């Protein structure tokens, strides 16, 4: 079986790392990827969002249509690594390994050029804005009606797990989550006469205490206070405005709705008691990723045949991934690949382990060989 050139792919990964782009702003990254794939003279292209695109190759016979996804976006994190290919974009860097995920799909594209499929279809999906939870929804909104995939697959690198191990499970793989923003409007007063005003700090305190009761992802769910602000730095003024920001996290979309409704109801009750007005909004909404038993069985089969260490997960990951939007509509599976000992994801010192590139290609290519050969 012909294989892509690993050195070329590592160099490509480092170039992605050097020039990262934030969610929704991945224009140059998307154009670079599309040009690389166009040079293979193999794919049909579909635009599926602002910067997202599909590259599809078809076999001569009918068969399954499998989609493999990678993410384009970087994070608003200042890199503190000092290697030659460190990020040149101020306060922006690839700290989740999306530079490596993209490179794996480019390697898979090269493999497909060298190893044509006999039946079915393979689509490579390069998706924008995964980190904000908006990218997959935008892809589905712009999805061509004539393209009807059977399966979606994607991987994510997993630091501090046995190198090359494959982690997956049927059912919930990663959690549902969303950010909630509560704005409070009371009434300012002189700091010497707080009784003449309506300071929102009491309401914020009570709601924070309510949130602290949700500490178990396996139970009711997890609510984390991430930011709060009341008034301004004026010692003579009792504030009249405030904001509280929280992250809600559960193992299913249904539980997420339940704890959001509970938080809304409690907020309304407290604000009515305090005489405070409030507004409630949400952002960065991620569905839970639900892995179908069919897709997981396919993955486990090729891992066993390829001699890869497959580890069945007992519990879902607490973090969220907007791949869940795809598995909400289509059969599919997201899995993690152990990256060995390294800095954790979203750390300023994190860097993708390039030795994972051939493993990612191997897993995806094996799925194609097994089910589309």
One domain for residues 164 and 185: no
Domain boundary, last residue among 243, 264, 285: 285
Domain-located, residue 244 = yes
Is residue 168 within 8 Å of 310, Cβ to Cβ? yes
Place of tokens 């992250």: 247
- Residue 112 has, within 13 A of its CA and on its CB side, a CA count of 29
Say whether both 160 and 49 belong to one domain. yes
Given a cut of 50, the residues of the chain with pLDDT beneath it are 1
Q: Is residue 10 part of a domain?
A: yes
Return d(Cα 188, Cα 183) in angstroms, integer. 15
pLDDT of amino acid 219: 87
Note whether 248 and 169 are same-domain residues.
Answer: no
Q: What is the pLDDT of residues 302-331, one digit of tens each?
A: 999 999 999 999 999 999 999 999 999 999
* Cα end-to-end distance, the chain, whole Å: 13
pTM attached to this predicted model:
0.94
* Domain membership flag for residue 90: yes
Range of the domain at 210: 176-285
pLDDT tens-digit profile of 155-190? 999 999 999 999 999 999 999 999 999 999 999 999
Under 8 Å between Cβ of 201 and 242: yes
- 202 lies in the same domain as 86: no
* Domain identity same for 334 and 357: yes
CA separation, residue 194 to residues 207, 235, 242 (Å): 21, 12, 15
The pLDDT, as a whole number, for residue 271 is: 98
pLDDT of residue 2: 52
**Are 327 and 368 contained in the same domain?**
yes
Read off the CATH number of the domain in which 245 is found: 3.30.70.360
Are the beta carbons of 301 and 112 closer than 8 angstroms? no
- Tell me what pLDDT residue 3 has: 66
**CATH number of residue 60's parent domain:** 3.40.630.10
Q: Among 216, 250, 285, where does a domain finish?
A: 285
Q: For residue 1, tell me if it sits in a domain.
A: no
Length of the chain: 373
pLDDT (0 to 100) of residue 68: 99
Question: Do 211 and 360 lie in a common domain?
Answer: no
The order of strands in the sheet holding 151-158 is 44-47, 53-58, 119-127, 61-71, 151-158, 332-338, 166-168, 310-312
45 plus 112 within the same structural domain: yes
Using CA atoms, how far residue 39 sits from 2, 42, 113, 212, in Å, is 18, 8, 11, 54
How many structural domains compose the chain? Answer: 2
């Amino acid at each position: 079986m012909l294989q892509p050139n690993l050195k070329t792919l590592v160099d490509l990964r480092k170039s992605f790392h050097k020039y990262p782009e934030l969610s929704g702003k991945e224009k140059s990254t998307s154009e670079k990827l599309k040009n690389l794939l166009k040079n293979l003279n193999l794919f049909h292209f579909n635009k599926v969002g602002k910067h997202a695109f599909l590259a599809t190759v078809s076999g001569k016979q009918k068969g399954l249509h499998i989609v493999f996804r990678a993410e384009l976006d970087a994070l608003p994190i200042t890199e503190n690594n000092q290697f030659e290919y460190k990020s040149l974009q101020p306060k922006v860097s690839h700290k989740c390994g999306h530079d490596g995920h993209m490179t794996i799909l480019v390697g898979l594209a090269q493999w497909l050029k060298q190893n044509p499929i006999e039946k079915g279809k393979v689509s490579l999906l390069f998706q924008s804005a995964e980190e904000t939870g908006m990218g997959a929804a935008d892809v589905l909104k712009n999805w061509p009606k004539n393209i009807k995939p059977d399966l979606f697959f994607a991987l994510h690198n997993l630091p501090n797990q046995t190198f090359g191990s494959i982690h997956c499970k049927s059912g919930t793989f990663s959690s549902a989550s969303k950010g909630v923003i509560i704005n409070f409007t009371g009434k300012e007063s002189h700091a010497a006469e707080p009784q003449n005003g309506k300071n929102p700090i009491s309401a914020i305190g009570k709601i924070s205490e309510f949130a602290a009761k949700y500490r178990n992802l396996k139970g009711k769910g997890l609510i984390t206070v991430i930011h709060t602000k009341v008034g301004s730095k004026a010692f003579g003024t009792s504030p009249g405005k405030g904001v509280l920001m929280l992250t809600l996290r559960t193992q299913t979309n249904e539980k997420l709705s339940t704890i959001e409704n509970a938080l809304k109801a409690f907020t309304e009750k407290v604000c009515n008691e305090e005489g405070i007005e409030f507004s409630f909004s949400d952002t960065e909404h991620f569905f839970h990723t639900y892995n179908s038993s069919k897709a997981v069985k396919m993955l486990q089969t090729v891992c066993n045949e390829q001699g890869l260490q497959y580890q069945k997960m007992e519990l879902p990951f607490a973090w969220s991934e907007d791949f869940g939007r795809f598995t909400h509509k289509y059969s599919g599976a997201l899995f993690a690949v152990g990256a060995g000992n390294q800095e954790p994801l979203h750390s300023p010192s994190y860097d993708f382990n390039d030795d994972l590139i051939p493993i990612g290609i191997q897993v995806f290519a094996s799925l194609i060989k097994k089910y589309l050969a």
